[in-house]
């Protein structure tokens, strides 16, 4: 049999062979999908989220809504700032200023004397600590410097979250690669089988 005859293959013949050996494609795809899943899980960051909703109770002697809303706007800047993070670090030296700043996120509600604080950290203990110190520091600051009556904690929540650093693309990429390699293996086996005849 000449080389020309060996490689003259009808597409139908190849498709039939692929269907016959589809288990090889499925097996290789499954192996690669498992590898992708393991890598996806390994690169998944487990983080702990602590959140609190704080209500600024204004001083009864100051009846100026504009002043109250100004406090809310300034609160976001203050809590996200370096000085605030340093104050938390001063309370607990195991918490660095950098990690406190990175972990804290603050949002405000429009036309309301309410702010939301979120802390995301790889340790549940640290996440709770930072939120506790942030509430303490913020309450102290608001009552002493901004003359608020009090800071009410409306909502306090703790939960574990998963933050994928590689996201689902890793899993999909490995699965697709496994499928392609599986098909290539079957084609190579088909060519080898043809050559042996």
pLDDT of residue 41: 64
pLDDT tens-digit profile, the chain (197 residues): 444 454 566 778 888 888 898 998 999 999 988 888 777 666 666 788 999 999 988 877 766 666 667 788 888 888 988 999 999 999 999 999 999 999 999 998 887 889 999 999 888 899 999 999 999 999 998 888 888 888 899 888 988 876 555 567 777 888 899 899 989 998 888 888 878 76
Q: How far apart are CA 31 and CA 26, in angstroms?
A: 9
What are the distances in angstroms from CA 7 to CA 4, 11, 19, 187? 6, 11, 20, 12
Closest CA to 115 of 100, 104, 99, 130: 104
- What does the H/E/C string look like for the chain? CCHHHHCCCCHHHHHHHHHHCHHHHHHHHHHHHHHHHHHHHHCEEEEEEEEEEEEEECCCCCCCHHHHHHHHHHHHHHHCCHHHHHHHHHHCCCCCHHHHHHHEEEEECCCCCEEEEEEEECCHHHHHHHHHHHHHHHHHHHHHCCCCCEEEEEEEEEEEEEEECCCCHHHHHHHHHHHHHHHHHHHHHHHHHHHHC
Give domain limits for the chain: 10-43+166-196, 46-164
Give the torsion sign (CA, 37, 41, 43, 44): positive
- 46-164 CATH, one of 3.30.70.1130, 3.40.640.10, 3.30.1490.20, 3.50.50.60: 3.30.70.1130
Residue with tokens 């930072």: 130
Instruction: Locate 106 and state its tokens.
Output: 């603050």
Burial bucket for residue 14 (CB in 10 Å: 0-12, 13-18, 19+):
middle
Q: Strand pairing partners for 153? A: 54
C-alpha angle 155/157/158, rounded to 5°?
Answer: 165
Residue 184's pLDDT is: 92
């Amino acid at each position: 049999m000449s080389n020309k005859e060996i490689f003259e293959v009808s597409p139908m013949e190849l498709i039939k062979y692929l269907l016959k050996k589809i288990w090889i494609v499925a097996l290789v795809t499954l192996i690669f999908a498992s590898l992708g899943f393991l890598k996806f899980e390994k690169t998944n960051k487990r983080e702990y989220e602590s959140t609190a909703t704080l209500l600024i109770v204004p001083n009864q002697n100051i009846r100026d809504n504009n002043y109250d809303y100004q406090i809310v706007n300034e609160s976001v800047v203050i809590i996200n700032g370096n000085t605030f993070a340093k104050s938390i670090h001063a309370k607990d030296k195991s918490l660095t200023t950098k990690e406190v700043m990175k972990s804290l996120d603050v949002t405000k509600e429009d036309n309301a004397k309410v702010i939301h604080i979120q802390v995301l950290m790889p340790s549940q203990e640290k996440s709770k600590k930072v939120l506790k110190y942030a509430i303490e520091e913020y309450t102290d600051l608001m009552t002493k410097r901004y003359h608020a009556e009090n800071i009410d904690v409306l909502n306090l929540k703790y939960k574990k979250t998963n933050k994928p650093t590689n996201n689902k693309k890793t899993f999909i990429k490995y699965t697709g690669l496994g499928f392609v390699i599986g098909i290539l293996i079957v084609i190579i086996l088909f060519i080898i089988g043809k050559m042996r005849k």
